[in-house]
Structure 1
């Protein structure tokens, strides 16, 4: 926020087939439960349970994604979980590119006074 250098989290789910952001989580924190709700929302939005497609989710190695709860969720939902090797953001190029554009076009061009103002702009 303005002059305070506070930050918030943005976790986005991109469909690499059509390059669209399916859904996202934004907040002052980003827990495993936040991620699980976001993935569930994406699955519902894309009606994944009605399809026979083999789903793959690729993530970095953040604590939310290496948790036992996330592993169990992927197992239960028959989602293949790919984790990129540390320090290789190019392996997650689609979402890294999106977040880079968001940084340049939104975050760097605005000075937000409140979290709500930032959330609204994002």
Structure 2
């Protein structure tokens, strides 16, 4: 799995779970979004077309609306 160094992606619990699942990880260099162009592009489009247009009142509502967006 290739990802940036965001706190949600370097958390001890996630790192441990990925190891248990035999999933190898690669973190891009800090300040180098071009090293993960597909992921960064997806995140930008998701934010622009879905997340920034909505006000979510619960995690369930956010999940439903992002599932519909896909």
Shorter-chain TM-score category?
A: 0.5 to 0.7
1:88 aligns with 2:32: yes
**Which is richer in helix?**
2
Provide the alpha-carbon RMSD of the alignment.
Answer: 2.4
1:92-120 C-alpha deviation (Å, 9 max, x unpaired): 11111112223333355x3x3x414x722
Structure with the bigger RCO (C-alpha within 8 Å, sep 6+) is 2
Gaps of 5+ in 2: none
Moved over 6 A (4+): none
**Which is richer in strand?**
1
Gaps of 5+ in 1: 1-56
Aligned residues: 62
TM-score, normalised by the number of residues in structure 1: 0.41
